[in-house]
Structure 1
Amino acid sequence: MSASIVIGADRNGAPVRIDIEELLATRLLVQGNSGSGKSHLLRRLLEESAPVVQQVVIDPEGDFVTLAEPFGHVVVDGAAYDQAEIARLAARIRTHRASVVLALDGLELEAQMRCAAVFLNTLFDAPRDEWYPVLVVVDEAQMFAPAAAGDVTDEVRRLSLAAMTNLMCRGRKRGLAGVIATQRLAKLAKNVAAEASNFLMGRTFLDIDMARAADLLGMERKQAEQIRDLERGHFLGLGPAIARRPVGVRIADVHTRARNVVQGLMPMPTAAGQAMESLLLAESLTFDAPRRVDESEAEPIDAGELLEQIESTVPVAEQVEKPVEPSLFEQEETAANVVAILAEMAQEPDCTFQPAAQLYQDFTVRCRMARLANTGIDLAGFRRRFAMAVAGVPDDKAPRWREVLALARDVPDDLLAPFLMLAVAAMEGAPCPDDDRLAEVYGTRSPGRIRRLLDHLERSGLIVVRTDYGGRRSVGIPGLGLTTAPVAA
């Protein structure tokens, strides 16, 4: 596998490459004013190098979370965790070589700097046997390594600047390769920028920034004017990982986009005058019908669940294709054996407390022992089938369960087992499972998490929780029109 990726083409149409192995040793600085295509360049670099090297993205605007689905990055919402949890997540990331995006868009500037500093320092302090190569991309680096004091306290500035300095100055020996991007070179601390040996300079208008860019590229001051004339998406590249002489490059297309980015103009609304006034001043309804919550409104992932997600991450380079489907003659027998194996695993004590990747490995071993070479079940499919087995749903093809499974189709994998257990109890008219039983199938020992789980399922429109005057709880499933028998909560 080649460690060289194509980021674009020069003026003659020849491909311009970045040597990832060389980049890990020499680091990269990207500079360009707003609208120059800086984020597009970073996205191209991340997408092309995802199969080659582990990636960690410090994302202050939440632009790169869209890498999660196509490239397997784990999204860590910095606003949802405290300092200790962020440190534990960062430590686990180095251990399991998971590619992650640390999204900081839900935090104020000072909190962003604190969170990023804790995260980077933990990556830096990893044990020696975990110094795997990592591409650490920091967007808007001038926020985390400011050249001068700004609107934050001196303590926060020193903490964040020290973390960025460690990344760029001492990170190489620990496997950390810094890729920092900034809108203004003049606002970026010089001791951080000076450690980069590779440069990609985009459109810049201010004289002070053009002068610094020209110095870094080894150009004369008269030649610096061409930096002002660069088009959007065009950069000048230089460095051992790119080219020995400054080369112009037009960045190639990308596969993903930032969230909520409006491309070009949009039609103006047709309402105007009194019609628009009535829309703005209309009284709110006294009663809103229940609705399913949007994914963006969902409860943040618990730190423990996110740790398990990181542990179960398989690097893109290590992923394999799905096995070939078994023949029609073998499918019925294979399906029955798979159901039996899943049911056997679901009966084992504390099985739900194990990481999904470990359970899946156990499942594949059992299948091989039963001479089932082609089950056709990947990790995602296993998580749902195992949740069904834990909840007591024996076979997804049984007619009585089709309505339940259709209702559960949009339920996230980590919530599926407790939801199915509630649905099974409702279908059978059995007592509502208590918190201890729900906690067991959910894989937690925290009563608070179960209360939040029930609240989230209810806000999503999947269940209705009712507690009578005797303190007995019952759970209804609106999609089925059924309710569990009441039981003391």
Structure 2
Amino acid sequence: MDVGIEIGRDDSGQAVYINVEELLATRLLVQGNSGSGKSHLLRRLLEESAHLVQQVVIDPEGDFATLADAYNHVVIDAGDYNEQEIATMGARIREHRASIILNLEALELEAQMSCAAAFLNAMFDAPRDHWYPALVVVDEAQMFAPAVAGDVPDAVRRASLGAMTNLMCRGRKRGLAGTIATQRLAKLAKNVAAEASNFLMGRTFLDIDMARAADLLGMERRQAERIRDLDRGCFLGLGPAISRRPISMKIGPTQTSTRMGTHSLLPMPEAEPENLRTMLFAEMEAEPVKVDRQPEPQIVAAEELIRRIAAPEPGAATASSIDEDSADMTAADAVDLEATIVSILQDMLADTDSAYQPDALLYQDFSVRCRMQQLPRVPLELADFRRRFALAKGGILDPTETRWKELLEAAASLPEDMAAPFLQIARAAMEGSPCPDDDALGRAYGTRSPGRIRRLVEYMEKQGAVVVRADFGGRRSIGIPQLGLSTEAE
């Protein structure tokens, strides 16, 4: 299922879209000098995709904390917590799929790198059952993945660089889609930058950065001057999630902004030099001028913040409480919800490519389809969805039907990933149909390899779940001992 968000418009005024599903698989690199509009681009990307995917923002300057005012992000002010608490939160957000902003502005550079490393490593080391798709945005990535050693201790640099490398190189299989932004490609470690397949290049002036940006965009060196002439907020984009050819675009407007807003010229104060001198050189012992300040935010205890991360979204609180209290949910509501789940699973199975996609992407597709059906929340967790989708591939859309009871009991002895092909065989035996061929079993098992299918059937036979027979004509039939049934020869 393609899910596109409008990121901006090209030179002809046509909308330019980013395919979020493709972005999750191929990662993104944003480059531009200070003032080129990188933060505005990231904010637009986050706002437009907030309802589609979990978001994690590593924010060294506190620019993105205002997203929490309009969306369901939880802001973690890193200066208020120790490293162990930060790591615990990193693991919890993967479990509860909370969108968060890790605000590092109160920390020095060394502490920022240590904190980001602990947080990213905890996300990376989460259990397999918590590998939900997540868009991980790292602003000023050259701070966390420097190309050369700087003033920070070498141990801190290696830890931070290792966490960033894991995010960009190995994070995809764990559902982590890295989106990194940097002022200069020359300052960013090459093994981190090289893993991105999508690029958005903003205004850049130094020759070495222009040359590297042109190389990444597939442009000739003489065309690199074009990058220097880009206006603020304009980017050149390329990649499977954006465009197959370099495309120029102007990033669209955002709903939120930074707390400080945009710096602009202000009229100078109108005062005589004598008055200014009097104010500047007033008696130091005089009572200091009182300045109206915003009250300092209260520090939230780590336990309380973790509880907030685990709490459901505000819009889903009512639905969650209804689910927990079965007395408040009518039988008709439960039937309608189950019918919706079955309809979504049928639509997903109609897409032939879905059989070969990883569970994390399938679950993301399922979540989006649930939102399109206006469900208040996703009704199945990843583990439950994995089981329901496997049963659906085996031809069982409603596992509560009594006719499937013995069949499901027979499948319980096999590993979860073998349920779908076994159920296809068992259903054919119950219906007296020919044995499913290798292609059908491969789609159920998620592979196009005939060798893996042969090994799969051999394994099920060794476990006593099936008995394979072949006649002299080479036609195969498979029996299910626990059911006392067999398929027709095929």
TM range (shorter): 0.5 to 0.7
3-state SS of the aligned residue for 1:158? helix
* Structure 1 portions without partners, runs of 5+: 321-356, 374-489
| Aligned positions of 1:114-153 closer than 5 A | 114-153=114-153
Shift of 1:151: 1.2
What percent of counterpart residues are identical?
64
Q: 1:292 to 1:208 in 2, by over 3 A?
A: closer
Letter in 2 for 1:259: R
Task: Go from structure 1 to structure 2 and tell me whether the alpha carbon gap of 1:369 and 1:147 turns closer, same or farther (over 3 Å shift).
Answer: closer
Deviates more, 1:214-223 or 1:298-307: 298-307
Q: Distance in 2 between matches of 1:272 and 1:124?
A: 61
RMSD of aligned residue pairs (Cα, Å): 2.7
Residue 132 of structure 1 deviates from its aligned partner by 0.3
1:92 aligns with 2:92: yes
Residues 250-309 of structure 1 show CA distances to partners (whole Å, capped at 9, x for unaligned) of 1000111112134421122234433334434355776999x99734x1222111111111
Could you tell me which residue of structure 1 aligns to residue 48 of structure 2? 48
1:176 corresponds in structure 2 to 176
Which structure's CA Rg is the greater one?
Answer: 2
**Alignment match of 1:361 (pick from 312, 321, 325):** 321
Q: CA deviation at 1:179?
A: 0.1
SS at match of 2:136: strand
After superposition, where does 1:227-306 map in structure 2 within 5 Å? 227-280=227-280, 281=282, 294-295=294-295, 297-306=296-305
- On the 8 A contact 2:323/2:329 being kept in 1, the answer is no
In structure 1, the residue corresponding to 2:52 is in which secondary structure? coil
Secondary structure of 1:269's match? coil
Aligned-pair distance for 1:214? Answer: 0.8
- Contact (CA 8 Å) 1:136, 1:178: kept in 2 or not? yes
* Aligned residue number for residue 28 of structure 1: 28
2:12 maps to which residue? Answer: 12
CA contact (8 A) 1:94 1:123 kept: yes
Cα offset, 1:206, TM superposition? 0.6
Q: 1:202 to 1:166 in 2, by over 3 A?
A: same
What is the one-letter code of the residue matched to 1:306?
Answer: L
Distance in 2, matches of 1:288 and 1:188, equals 45
Conservation of the 8 A alpha-carbon contact between 1:144 and 1:164: yes
Do the aligned partners of residues 167 and 287 (structure 1) sit closer, same or farther apart at CA in structure 2, a change above 3 Å counting? closer
User: Aligned to 1:307, what secondary structure does the other structure show?
Assistant: helix
Deviation per CA, 1:7-34, whole angstroms, max 9, x where unpaired? 0000111100000000000000000001
TM-score (norm 2): 0.63
Gaps of 5+ in 2: 334-490
Q: 1:273 to 1:144 in 2, by over 3 A?
A: same
Match of 1:392? Answer: none
User: Which residue in the other structure is 1:199 paired with?
Assistant: 199
Alignment TM-score, normalising by the size of structure 1 = 0.63
> What's 1:69 paired with?
69
Q: Secondary structure at the match of 2:66?
A: helix
Residue 310 of structure 1 aligns with an amino acid whose one-letter code is I
Q: What SS is found at the alignment partner of 1:136? A: strand
C-alpha separation between the residues in 2 aligned to 1:299 and 1:70?
21
The CA distance in 1 between the partners of 2:130 and 2:154, in whole Å, is 32
Q: Which residue of 2 aligns with 1:158?
A: 158
The CA deviation at 1:363 is 11
Bigger drift between 361-370 and 7-16 goes to 361-370
Q: Partners of 2:165 and 2:128 in 1: how far apart?
A: 20
Taking the aligned partners of 1:51 and 1:126, their CA distance within structure 2 comes to 23
1:131-156 deviation per Cα after TM superposition (whole angstroms, max 9, x unaligned): 00000000000000000011111111
